[in-house]
Amino acid sequence: MNSVLKSKYNSTGVRCVDACLQYGELRYVSDDGIPTRIEVPSDKYDDAIAEFDKRISEGVSSNIRPTEVLRKGSVTYNQLKNFAEECKIRGLSYFPIDGSIDCNTILGVSGLIEYGLARWDGNDRKTAIKKSILRAISVNGEDFVRCLKIDNSSDETKCFSFAKSVQSTPGFGGLSLYQIQTFDLGGEIYKTLNEKKKSQKVNIKELNIDKIKEMMEPRDIAVVIISSIVSFALLQILTNFGALIGNIIIYILLSILVMILSSIFALKTYKTILNKHAASSSSNEEIMILFNDALEKNVYDYMLTPNEMKLILKNITQHGEIYKLLSDMKGSVNKISSVNIIMEKQTRFVLDARATITVPGTEEIRGVFTEMVSDYQGKLSKDYNVENVVDDVVSQNDSEEE
């Protein structure tokens, strides 16, 4: 990685500082004597600053301003550790002996993760590189530009101007960077539950064998079979196996009719009880909250994208299993454990589906960055062109006079 920037992700603020210092002096300094900027985990940054200040006050380290050395990344240590252990992003080096994680790309950890998340969310390679550049600038500012080593001094000035604009303008160029989002999984499950209830109300004229098979679940078939057997057995007892009727044809028709009616009644009663059980608000609210909490935790830990969250919802509610899911949940002794098992299973499916990310090279990054700067300069020249401004004022005055 370029000597201007480095990424050192460690499990504690103390270890982050240890990675930056050697015998009290800066471990990494560029060729011209400028301290190398070190990106550290977002959740360890404050601890690292405090530890740096402590060592300076105790005389253990030289009088160095820690804010000039440390850069707060956009990723926590545990989040990056999860990425490193998944091995889906090349360019990350995880060292189990001390838990440290290094990154060997010019984008730094934050830029690299932004690139991976953009690709997993369906963005094309070029758009993903643009987002990673914006993230790298938001963390390292002009130091990222210096890292690219733009040859022409005039071009470098334009690049610095571009970097300042990026840092001061959220959503620069209409590109939204990754943010942890909340997703009402419980609400979506409840919505799916209601939609399924509505879909079960079928017009009698539309019924046919295939439609009935589609609506029937294995447990429904079991209810029909059991109720038919029970009703047939009761009929045998009441009629003394047909002896009290005396007509074999009437006896057969009556048996069939009783079995059909009892099956319909049993199935309808079973569905009514199941629906009330699955849709009862008091118990469901607790389960929905548990689902939301479990999803929120996994979204934070694994930085799931919006499309991945939707896929989890789809997998949980597909194939009409939502009734069974809620019923099983209510019968569970430990609902939290049951929810976590379901969420871990679906999250694992999503994580396994993530493609392996190949890190873009420095030349490719420099090319995209140069194009972004050029587009920015073109927009500036257009928006702030004197003739364009005059024309806009004239047209505005004309419209007011009309």
Alpha helices in 121-152 (DSSP H): 125-140, 142-148
pLDDT tens digits, one per residue of 295-305: 889 999 999 99
pLDDT tens digits, one per residue of 337-372: 878 888 898 899 999 999 999 989 999 999 999 999
At position 69, the amino acid (one-letter code) is V
Mean pLDDT rounded to a whole number for the chain? 79
Is this prediction's pTM over 0.85? no
Q: What are 184's two structure tokens?
A: 């009402």
The confidence score (pLDDT) of residue 326 equals: 62
**Alpha carbon distance 376, 382 (integer Å):** 10
**Alpha carbon distance 395, 392 (integer Å):** 5
The confidence score (pLDDT) of residue 206 equals: 46
pLDDT tens digits, one per residue of 205-222: 444 444 444 445 666 777
Q: Residue 147 — very low, low, confident or very high, per pLDDT cuts 50/70/90?
A: confident
Given a cut of 70, whether residue 194 has pLDDT beyond it is: no
Q: Residue 398 — very low, low, confident or very high, per pLDDT cuts 50/70/90?
A: low
Residue 316: exposed, middle, or buried by beta-carbon count in 10 A (0-12, 13-18, 19+)?
buried
Mean pLDDT across 19-26? 84
Given a cut of 90, whether residue 250 has pLDDT beyond it is: no
Given a cut of 50, whether residue 121 has pLDDT beyond it is: yes
43 touches 25 (CB < 8 A): no
More confident residue, 241 or 113: 113
Helix (H) / strand (E) element for 9: namely strand 5-9
More confident residue, 188 or 63: 63
The confidence score (pLDDT) of residue 211 equals: 44
Q: Residue 323 — very low, low, confident or very high, per pLDDT cuts 50/70/90?
A: low
The confidence score (pLDDT) of residue 225 equals: 83
Mean pLDDT across 319-348? 70
Closest CA to 137 of 379, 383, 363, 373: 373
The confidence score (pLDDT) of residue 108 equals: 92
Mean pLDDT across 128-136? 95
The confidence score (pLDDT) of residue 83 equals: 95
The confidence score (pLDDT) of residue 77 equals: 96
Q: Which residue has the tokens 């991945």?
A: 308
State in Å, rounded, how far the first CA of the chain is from the last one.
62
The confidence score (pLDDT) of residue 366 equals: 92
The confidence score (pLDDT) of residue 352 equals: 94
